[in-house]
Amino acid sequence: MEVILKDDIQGLGYKNDIVNVKPGYGRNYLIPQGFAIHATKSAKKVLAENLKQAAHKAEKIKSDAQALAEKIGDLVLEIPAKASETGKIFGSVTSTQLSAALAKANPEFEDIDRRKISFDSKAVKTLGEYEAILTLHRDVKHTIKFKVVVSE
């Protein structure tokens, strides 16, 4: 079943992509949740026209995302967490904490959505240095470095 995505869905595709999914997944999840629409012939024509009109806007969005990635640069965030004597933290570091730390580091970064942050490793559960991936645009991904430190 072909569907047109209305939003970015991690592991499936980006907004305005035409993807093949299993019929049950499309009918029972993507379409009712508003994440996709049926890829009919007329819907594909409308999509093509919209993409044509939005091409110059997309270039500006991409350049803004690259500028934001350059502003973040090699910034190293510190995430405070309560930890045991062995260095294992209580709970784990989440994308919400990283988003809050980015906003605290620079008010310009408040607009960064926590859902655009993903971790390389499974879960961050010990003190130390880690990296996360910030997806600002489908072509612009930036690595965020952060340290998990003991909170006072």
3-state secondary structure at position 91: strand
Q: What is the pLDDT of residues 114-145, one digit of tens each?
A: 888 988 777 788 899 999 999 988 888 999 99
3-state secondary structure at position 66: helix
Q: What is the pLDDT of residues 20-52, one digit of tens each?
A: 999 999 999 999 999 999 999 999 999 998 888
Is 0.85 surpassed by the pTM of this model? no
3-state secondary structure at position 79: strand
Is the pLDDT at 72 greater than 90? The verdict is: no
- Give the angle subtended at the CA of 29 by the CAs of 27 and 35, to the nearest 5°: 100
User: Which pLDDT belongs to residue 42?
Assistant: 94
Nearby residues of 22 by Cβ (< 8 Å), 6 or more positions away: 1
User: Which pLDDT belongs to residue 39?
Assistant: 94
Q: How many CB atoms lie within 10 A of CB 22?
A: 10
Residue type, 36: A
Say if residues 82 and 149 touch (Cβ distance below 8 Å): no
Domains, the chain, with CATH or none? 2-63 (3.40.5.10), 69-150 (3.10.430.100)
Measured between alpha carbons, how far apart are the two ends of the chain, in Å?
Answer: 54
